[in-house]
Amino acid sequence: MRVSAKVVAVGLIALVGAVSNAWAEGNAARGKVLAYTCLGCHGIANYKNVYPTYSVPKLVGQHPEYIVAALKAYKGSERSHATMHAQAASLSDQDMQDIAVYLAGTPLKSGANAIGAAPTKVTELCVACHGKDGVGITVEYPTLAGQHADYLERALQEYKRGDRKNPVMPAFVGNLSNEELKTIAEYYAAQRPNLETVKRRVFFFSAE
């Protein structure tokens, strides 16, 4: 059974209500210092999570508010990932905001220059929140454009299994097959302009 428009509307209201409206402007310079350990994974292009194996997500271009929401979910064990829980556990709300604005850089904007395939029947379920071009329609919804397909597929599977707690996503993915989840992941991974990997200095003496 597919998700009805009524379920979509109720779900959107629930998700927005679940995300804190409080948002202090983050300090990117401080975030750069705090995010040093983050770059060990998120600053390496095509870096893989060891087990299970999937690509570490790209963060440049993401909504910083969503990065904060994700960090809070890892801290509160609403997302199952031991390393991310350990990294987020000691962070204050301000730490998260500072880290998020540094890692996100300039968030992607939805626009007429987007390049990608037309939505299919299954991906039409997703555009209400994530847009046809993969840019989240509000800051609470993640931008998916150009994200690693294997990471997106893994995230969708975690929502389906309940490894990621979320008031909306289970209603969308609960009845989808693994093949349909793969189709959604590949659709958004192909969108351009796209999220990118955080750039980090390669050499200790680099000016970057």
- The separation between CA 85 and the C-alpha centre of its own chain, rounded to angstroms, equals 16
- The tens digit of pLDDT for each residue in 93-146 reads 999 999 999 999 999 999 877 898 888 899 998 999 999 899 999 999 999 999
What is the distance between the alpha carbons of residues 43 and 37, in angstroms, rounded to a whole number? 9
Higher pLDDT, 180 or 205: 180
The secondary element (H helix, E strand) that includes residue 29 is helix 28-34
Rounded CA gap, 186 and 40, in Å? 26
Q: What is the pLDDT of residue 192?
A: 95
**Ordered structural domains, the chain, with CATH:** 23-189 (1.10.760.10)
Note the pLDDT of residue 24: 56
Distance CA 157, CA 1 (A): 18
In this model, does residue 203 exceed pLDDT 70?
no
Residues 5-56 pLDDT 10s: 444 444 444 444 444 444 558 999 999 999 999 999 999 999 999 999 999 9
